[in-house]
Chain A
Amino acid sequence: MLSTNSRKIRQDETRDGDPVIVAENLTVGYELARERQRLTALTGINLTIDRGEFVVLVGPSGCGKTTFINAVSGIVKPWEGSVAVNGKEVTGPGPDRAMVFQDYALMPWRTVEKNVRFPFELQGGGGLAKEEIDARIAHYIKLVDLDGFEHSYPYELSGGMRQRVGIARALVSEPDILLADEPFAAIDAMTREAMQAEMERIVAATGQTVVFITHSIDEAIALGDRVVVISYRPGRIKEIVPVNLPRPRFASDVKAIPEFSALREHVWELVKDEALRTSRGDTL
Chain B
Amino acid sequence: MSITDRSVAKDVGTETPRLVAAETNVRTIWRRYGPWAVTILNLSTFFVVWELFARAEIVNKLFLPRASNMFTALWDGLTTTMPPGAVISGSIRDHLFYSLSNLGMGVVIAIAIGVPFGLLMGANRYVDSLLSPYVWAISSMPRIALVPLFILFLGFTRKMQVTIIVLSAVFPIMINSWAGVKTTDKSLLSAAKVFGAGRTQLYTKVVFPFTLPFIISGIQQGIGRGLVGVIIAEIFGGSKGLGYLISRSADTFNSPLLYAVLFLLVVVSLSLIQFTRWLEAKVAPWRRLETL
A119 (CB) vs chain B CBs: closest residue: B195
- CA of A173 to CA of B195 in the docked complex: distance in angstroms? 9
- Closest-by-CB residue of B relative to A124 is B196
* Also in contact, A123 and B286, with CB within 8 A (given A107-B206, A107-B209): no
Contact flag A93-B188 (CB < 8 Å), given A107-B206, A108-B287, A155-B286: no
Quick check: B289 and A155 within 8 Å, CB to CB? yes
Question: Mask for A5-30, Cβ within 8 A of B = 1, else 0?
Answer: 00000000000000000000000000
B15 at the A interface (CB under 8 A): no
Chain B hits for A230, CB < 8 A: none
Partner of B286, one of A74, A98, A153: A153
Query: What 1/0 mask marks residues of chain B from 278 to 292 whose CB sits below 8 Å from any chain A CB?
Result: 000000111101100
Count residues of chain A with CB under 8 A from any CB of chain B: 27
* C-alpha spacing A18/B201, complex, angstroms: 35
B187, B195, B284, B287: the one contacting A103 at CB < 8 Å is: B187
A74 to B212, CA, bound (A): 29
* Complex CA distance for A103 and B187, rounded to whole angstroms: 8
Determine whether A154 belongs to the interface, using a CB cutoff of 8 Å to chain B.
yes
The reply to whether B286 and A109 contact each other, CB–CB distance below 8 Å, is yes
**CB atoms of B286 and A97 under 8 A apart:** no
The answer to whether A250 has its CB under 8 Å from any CB of chain B is no
Please determine whether A122 and B188 come into contact, CB atoms closer than 8 angstroms.
no
- In the assembled complex, B205 has its CB within 8 A of some CB on chain A: yes
Question: In residues 140-175 of chain A, which contact B (Cβ within 8 Å)?
Answer: 153-156, 169, 173
- Please give me the residue from chain A that is nearest to B201 by CB atom: A122
Q: Does B197 touch A at the CB level, under 8 Å?
A: yes
Q: B205 contacts A109, CB within 8 Å?
A: no
CB-CB < 8 A to B191: which residues of A? 99, 101, 105
Contact B187 A109 (CB under 8 A): no
Quick check: is B194 within 8 A (CB to CB) of the other chain? yes
A119 B209 Cβ-Cβ under 8 A: no
Q: For the complex, what is the distance from the CA of A153 to the CA of B285, rounded to whole Å?
A: 9
Give me 19 A-to-B residue pairs in the complex whose CB atoms sit less than 8 angstroms apart, sorted by A's number: A93-B194, A99-B191, A99-B194, A108-B286, A108-B290, A109-B209, A109-B212, A118-B195, A118-B205, A122-B195, A123-B195, A123-B196, A153-B285, A154-B286, A155-B286, A155-B289, A169-B195, A173-B195, A179-B194
> A-side interface residues toward B, CB under 8 Å?
73-75, 93-95, 97-99, 101, 103, 105, 107-109, 118-119, 121-123, 153-156, 169, 173, 179
